[in-house]
Each structure stands twice: as structure tokens, then as C-alpha cells.
Amino acid sequence: MQTVEGTMETPERTTETMGDFRRLLHENMEVISSDLVHLAALVGESVVRGTEALLSGEPALAKEVIDNDDRLDALSLRVEESCFRLLALQGPMASDLRTIVATMRINAELERSGDLMVNVAKGARRISTVEIPPVVRGIVQQMADEATRMLRFAMDSYVDRSGPLGAALHDLDDRLDDLQSEFVAAIFEADERGELPISGAVQLALIARYYERIGDHAVNIGERVQFMAEGVMAGHAHEAALAELERAQPERLGQ
């Protein structure tokens, strides 16, 4: 396939070369999108393995999640660099700019989600000898399942370019927020009953927050998809994306 770099020195484009340019851009976006979906799959795998490390008390599993983060970071960097190369092309249309900028933002949300699972794995390693009460274990698994489901839902909205699907993530996040509250209450009830040391209770409370933040990142991905598909985004996220578009190609925003 022809590469982005091969078009970088083209001084101007005719109608014919404009068609070639858009074909080239879309071909490169397909590669980037494939990498992004792969990155999301790796993050989902980290959620599963990190949760397993927490519930099993196996330090080796926690180390696996921590070590695997380098792989996620490398793929995320590749996506980011590819997007910057596309932004360097002459005169992408507004819809193309939205797609590129949204993809960069989604990439960042996924990378941060991977970092959160590293935090979970590190926390799991610190309390590997702590016996987690059954009620707390059950809520941990529910939170992990919900976080995984939200990430999958978010990436489905990206692949389908579905703004309504992305918007629906706000409702899913309510469930994860409720689970976090339930989780924290269960942790400190277990502490009061003497079933958890205070150090374990505090560490688990932090871990609950990490899962909840993964849900927040999934919601952010949904908002980026809305912006990409419909050109609208709620609140400050819209303002940030619009500012980035203006910095990239202000004269193309009206097209």
C-alpha cells in the first residue's frame, strides 16, 4: 500500500490528485483503526488478567500485566505518530480532521486505561497475601466485567461510527458508579468486622476507583465518536477538540 510519507512533498493537488489523496488517507485510516481496535483488545485483556491477579493473589499474574504495558505503550505511540503524519497532509477536509483528532483522543483514553490496570496489578501485588472476603470478591468481578463491557461497547461505537451508540455509554457508566459505591461500602464493612486489615481495605478502595475511571475513559471514547460522526460533543470535551481542529487546519472547518 502507498504510504503517507510518499505524499508529503506534493505542492498542490488537482481534482484527480484530490481523489488519490482521499483514497490514500482512507487507506491509512483503516490501518490506524485496526491498530486502535487491537490496542483496545489488549487493554481488555489487561482488565481480565489484572482482575485475575487481584482475586487469585498470584504476584506472577500481576507482573505479567505490568510488563505487558510496554506493548500497549508501543502500539499507542504508533497510532499517535501515524495520526500526526496524516495531519501533516495538505488540506484534509473537516470530516477527515474530526476522524483523525478523535482517533488520537481515543488512543489516549485507551492508553490511560491500560495504565490504570497497571495500578490495579501493582495494588494486587501489595495485598497478595490478604484474604479478600467473598462479597468483596464478587463486586470486584462485577466491576471488571462492567469495565470490559463498556470498553467493548465504546469500540463498537468507534468501528460503526455510531454517535448514538457512543452517547449510550453515559447510561452504562451509572452502573459502574453504583458498583464502586457498593464496593467501597462492602470493603469498610469487612474492615469493621475484622475480615480485612485496614491496609487491605485502603488498597481495595483505590482499586475500586481505578475500575471506575476505566468506565470514565470509555464514556470519553463515546463522546469522541459522537464528535467524529456528528461534529458535536458535550461540554469542555467539545471545546478541546474544536481548538485542536482549529490549530490543525482552521481554513477547512467550514467544509
Distance (Å, whole) CA 36 – CA 159: 10
Question: What distance in Å separates the CA atoms of residue 32 and residue 37, rounded to the nearest whole number?
Answer: 9
DSSP string, 84-142: HHHHTSS---HHHHHHHHHHHHHHHHHHHHHHHHHHHHHHHHHTTTS---HHHHHHHHH
Which secondary structure element, helix H or strand E, spans residue 2, and what is its range?
Answer: none
pLDDT attached to residue 230: 87
Cβ atoms < 10 Å from Cβ of 214 = 27
Residue 102 and residue 241 in contact, taking contact as beta carbons nearer than 8 Å: yes
Number of domains in the chain: 1
Low-confidence ranges of the chain (pLDDT < 50): 1-11, 235-246, 248-255
Q: What is the pLDDT of residue 176?
A: 92
Residue 195 lies in a domain: yes
Q: Which amino acid is at 153?
A: F
The pLDDT score that the predictor gives to residue 255 is 38
CB-CB neighbours of 254 under 10 Å: 6
Q: What is the pLDDT of residue 172?
A: 87
Q: What is the pLDDT of residue 105?
A: 96
Q: What are phi and psi of 59, to 5 degrees?
A: -60, -30
pTM of structure: 0.83
Q: What is the model's pLDDT at position 15?
A: 54
Query: Which pLDDT does position 77 carry in this prediction?
Result: 98
Q: Tell me the one-letter amino acid at 231.
A: G
CATH number for the domain harbouring residue 163: 1.20.58.220
CB 154 within 8 A of CB 221: yes
Query: DSSP string of 179-213?
Result: HHHHHHHHHHHHHHTTSS-HHHHHHHHHHHHHHHH
Residue 63 falls inside a structural domain:
yes
Instruction: Give me the pLDDT at residue 18, please.
Output: 61
Instruction: Give the H or E element holding residue 59.
Output: helix 59-87
> In this structure, which amino acid lies at residue 158?
Y
Domain limits at 108?
Answer: 16-250
What angle separates helix 134-160 from helix 15-56, to the nearest 10 degrees?
A: 170
Instruction: Please check whether residue 20 lies inside any domain of the structure.
Output: yes
In a domain, 92, yes or no: yes
What was the pLDDT predicted at 90? 60
DSSP character for 35? H
* 11 within domain boundaries: no
Q: Is residue 61 part of a domain?
A: yes
Cell of 105: 483522543
